[in-house]
Amino acid sequence: MEKKNKNIFPVFDQMIQRKEKELLLFQHSMAIWLYGLSGSGKTTIAIELEKILFSRGLICKLLDADNIRTGLNNDLGFSIKQREENIRRVAEINKLFIDGGVITINCFVCPTIAMRSVAKKIIGKKDFVEIFVNAPIDVCHQRDTKGLYKKANQGKVTEFTGVSSPFEKPVKPDLEVRTDKLSIKESVNKILEFVLPKIELK
């Protein structure tokens, strides 16, 4: 049997290295990984976070679940196995951006501890900030700006996290943001306070 990857010859060592790109951009690249239930506020927070980081001269790429599923991952459904593949691909994309010196802001439901562990392993622990955007499911139901909880409760949307598919709360995230208690501005400021020392070069 022919060995896997026998005809693949990576040239990583010949490329301009990450450290040189970080110095050019004057920032430390890493993945800011926001996850939580639909309606918890992930995307709203991520959009505001990107604006503020950009205003500070930091180059970021926002990777949002719905955006990713309109293109790269439009072949995937929402079973646990397909969600795992979705997160695996996103983590690999993160690696490419981080190697290019770019900070990534991710917002995905990422419902299981195993999925988060895979993402952290692929990206690398030192380049991964795990932020749990936490709102009780009844609050997420009340927000339901996309009407997804209503459809899920009616059986019109299957394999929906928090209704017909489980969400595993983290044991010890790097940061937890309670969006039922904090405003969007307060939530963003809490994240900024945590991540800025890690991404801004002095």
Structural domain boundaries, residue 46: 18-196
Q: What angle do CA 157, 71, 162 make, to 5 degrees?
A: 30
Task: Judge residue 91's burial from the number of C-beta atoms within 10 Å of its C-beta, 0-12 exposed, 13-18 middle, 19 or more buried.
Answer: buried
Answer yes or no: is 99 within a domain. yes
Answer yes or no: is 12 within a domain. no
Name the 3-class secondary structure at 39. Answer: coil
Answer yes or no: is 185 within a domain. yes
Query: What element of type H or E holds 31?
Result: strand 31-35
Answer yes or no: is 25 within a domain. yes
Q: What span, in angstroms and rounded, lies between the C-alpha atoms of 120 and 132?
A: 14
Q: What is the 3-state secondary structure (H, E, C) of 77-98?
A: CCCHHHHHHHHHHHHHHHHHHH
Answer yes or no: is 186 within a domain. yes
- Over the stretch 19-71, which tens digit does the pLDDT of each residue have? 999 999 999 999 999 999 999 999 999 999 999 999 999 999 999 999 999 99
How many folded domains does the chain comprise?
1
Among 26-35, 60-69, 139-148, 173-182, which stretch is predicted with the lowest mean pLDDT? Answer: 139-148
Answer yes or no: is 5 within a domain. no
- Looking at residue 41, which CATH number applies to its domain? 3.40.50.300
pLDDT at site 153? 86
pLDDT at site 3? 53
DSSP secondary structure letter of residue 23: H
Answer yes or no: is 7 within a domain. no
- Over the stretch 105-131, which tens digit does the pLDDT of each residue have? 999 999 999 999 999 999 999 999 999
